[in-house]
Structure 1
Amino acid sequence: MKRLESILVVDDQPDFAKGLARLINSRHDDLEVLLAQDGTQALRLLEEQRFDILFTDLRMPGMDGQELLERAVRLDPSLTVVMLTAHGDVESAVAAIKTGAYDFLSKPLEPDSLFMALEKALERSRLLRENRRLRGSVAASEAGLEIIGESPCMLRLKKTIAAVAGSDYTVLIQGESGTGKEAVARAIHRLSGRSQGAMLSVNCPAIPDQLLESELFGHVKGAFTGADRASKGLFLAAEGGTILLDEIGDIPMNIQTKLLRVLQEREVRAVGGSETVKVDVRILASTNQHLAEKIKDKSFREDLFYRLNVLTIQTPALRERREDIPLLAVHFMQRSCEEMHLPVKELTPDALGYLAGREWPGNVRQLLNFMRRLVVFSPGDVIDAEAALLVDGGETSPQGASAPLGSYQDAKNTALDAFTRTYVDQLLTRTKGNISEAARVSGLERASLQKILKRLGIEAQDFKA
Structure 2
Amino acid sequence: MTDTQERHVLVVDDQTDFARGLERLIQGEFDDVRVHVAESGEQALARLERTPVHVMITDLQMPGMDGLVLLRKALEKSPSLSAVMLTAHGTIETAVDALKAGAYDFLTKPIEPESLFRVVANGLERSRLLDENRQLRDQLQRHKDRLIGESPVMQRFKQSIQAVAQTDYTVLILGESGTGKELAAAMVRDLSPRSDRPFVTLNCTAIPENLLESELFGHVKGAFSGAEKDRDGLFVKAHTGTILLDEIGDIPMETQAKLLRVLQEGEIRPVGSDDSRRVDVRIIASTNQDLAARIADRTFREDLFHRLNVLTLTLPPLRERQGDIPLLARYFLLKACVELGLPDKDISPATLARLAAKPWPGNIRELQNAMRKLAVFGDTPSQAASPGSGLSSLAQEGELPPFKEAKTRVLDAFTLDYVREAMTRAGGNVSRTARLSGLSRVAVQNILGRYGLSPDQFK
**TM-score tier (shorter):** 0.7 to 0.9
SS in structure 2 of the partner of residue 382 of structure 1: coil
Which shifted more, 185-194 or 335-344?
335-344
2:197 alignment partner in structure 1: 197
Distance 1:196 1:351, change over 3 A: same
1:45 alignment partner in structure 2: 47
Unaligned 5+ segments in structure 2 are 399-459
- Is 1:169 aligned with 2:169? yes
Please say if residues 11 and 23 of structure 2, whose CA atoms lie closer than 8 Å, have aligned partners that are also in contact.
no
Amino acid at match of 2:46: R
Q: Matched residues in 1 for 2:166 and 2:53: separation? A: 45
SS in structure 2 of the partner of residue 215 of structure 1: helix
Distance 1:233 1:287, change over 3 A: same
1:308-457 to 2 correspondence within 5 Å?
Answer: 308-383=308-383, 387=384, 390-391=385-386, 395=390
Deviation at 1:238, TM superposition (A): 0.5
1:221 alignment partner in structure 2: 221
2:104 alignment partner in structure 1: 102
1:190-339 to 2 correspondence within 5 Å?
Answer: 190-339=190-339
Amino acid at match of 1:349: P
Q: Matched residues in 1 for 2:364 and 2:74: separation? A: 39
Amino acid at match of 1:250: D
State the superposition RMSD in angstroms. Answer: 3.7
1:119-158 to 2 correspondence within 5 Å?
Answer: 119-120=118-119, 122-130=121-129, 132-133=131-132, 146-158=146-158
Q: Matched residues in 1 for 2:354 and 2:187: separation? A: 30
Distance 1:27 1:258, change over 3 A: closer
SS in structure 2 of the partner of residue 350 of structure 1: helix
Please say if residues 80 and 130 of structure 2, whose CA atoms lie closer than 8 Å, have aligned partners that are also in contact.
no
* TM-score (normalizing by structure 2): 0.73
Which shifted more, 17-26 or 374-383?
17-26
Deviations 1:257-299 (A, max 9, x none): 2212222221112222232111111111111111121112121
Q: Matched residues in 1 for 2:183 and 2:7: separation? A: 38
> In percent, how many aligned pairs have the same letter?
50
Amino acid at match of 2:252: P
Deviations 1:145-181 (A, max 9, x none): 9332333332322222222222222111111111111
1:184 alignment partner in structure 2: 184
Amino acid at match of 1:62: G
Deviation at 1:245, TM superposition (A): 0.8
Deviations 1:376-419 (A, max 9, x none): 23343334xxx5xx55866499xxxxx9xxxx98xx69xxxxxx
Q: Matched residues in 2 for 1:204 and 1:329: separation? A: 30
Q: Matched residues in 1 for 2:154 and 2:89: separation? A: 56
Q: Matched residues in 2 for 1:125 and 1:27: separation? A: 12
Please say if residues 209 and 252 of structure 2, whose CA atoms lie closer than 8 Å, have aligned partners that are also in contact.
yes
Amino acid at match of 1:308: L
Which shifted more, 65-74 or 274-283?
65-74
Amino acid at match of 1:186: A
Which shifted more, 247-256 or 313-322?
313-322
Amino acid at match of 1:64: D
Amino acid at match of 1:325: I
Amino acid at match of 2:352: L
Deviations 1:7-53 (A, max 9, x none): 434344x2xx6347647977995266654332211212222334443
Amino acid at match of 2:310: V
Distance 1:29 1:168, change over 3 A: closer
Distance 1:302 1:338, change over 3 A: same
Deviation at 1:315, TM superposition (A): 1.4
Deviation at 1:300, TM superposition (A): 1.3
Q: Matched residues in 2 for 1:248 and 1:74: separation? A: 53
Please say if residues 135 and 330 of structure 1, whose CA atoms lie closer than 8 Å, have aligned partners that are also in contact.
no
Which shifted more, 88-97 or 118-127?
88-97
Q: Matched residues in 2 for 1:309 and 1:198: separation? A: 23
Which shifted more, 352-361 or 55-64?
55-64
* TM-score (normalizing by structure 1): 0.72
Please say if residues 131 and 330 of structure 1, whose CA atoms lie closer than 8 Å, have aligned partners that are also in contact.
no
Distance 1:333 1:7, change over 3 A: same
SS in structure 2 of the partner of residue 81 of structure 1: strand
Please say if residues 145 and 158 of structure 1, whose CA atoms lie closer than 8 Å, have aligned partners that are also in contact.
no
- Is 1:80 aligned with 2:79? no
Please say if residues 128 and 346 of structure 1, whose CA atoms lie closer than 8 Å, have aligned partners that are also in contact.
no
Amino acid at match of 1:132: D
Distance 1:111 1:278, change over 3 A: closer
Please say if residues 136 and 331 of structure 2, whose CA atoms lie closer than 8 Å, have aligned partners that are also in contact.
no
Amino acid at match of 1:79: L
Distance 1:84 1:153, change over 3 A: closer
SS in structure 2 of the partner of residue 68 of structure 1: helix
Please say if residues 83 and 104 of structure 1, whose CA atoms lie closer than 8 Å, have aligned partners that are also in contact.
yes
SS in structure 1 of the partner of residue 228 of structure 2: coil
2:414 alignment partner in structure 1: none
Q: Matched residues in 2 for 1:341 and 1:352: separation? A: 23
Q: Matched residues in 2 for 1:246 and 1:46: separation? A: 50
Please say if residues 138 and 148 of structure 1, whose CA atoms lie closer than 8 Å, have aligned partners that are also in contact.
no
Distance 1:138 1:361, change over 3 A: farther
2:17 alignment partner in structure 1: 18
Deviations 1:246-267 (A, max 9, x none): 1111111121122122222211
Distance 1:131 1:105, change over 3 A: closer
Deviation at 1:90, TM superposition (A): 6.7
SS in structure 2 of the partner of residue 172 of structure 1: strand
Deviation at 1:239, TM superposition (A): 0.6
Q: Matched residues in 1 for 2:6 and 2:193: separation? A: 45
Deviations 1:281-337 (A, max 9, x none): 111111111112111212112222222222222111112222222232233233223
Amino acid at match of 1:320: E
Deviations 1:90-139 (A, max 9, x none): 76765554442335678xx4657x97687456424423324535765997
Deviation at 1:69, TM superposition (A): 1.8
Distance 1:343 1:28, change over 3 A: farther
Please say if residues 24 and 115 of structure 1, whose CA atoms lie closer than 8 Å, have aligned partners that are also in contact.
no
Which shifted more, 329-338 or 17-26?
17-26
Q: Matched residues in 2 for 1:322 and 1:87: separation? A: 44
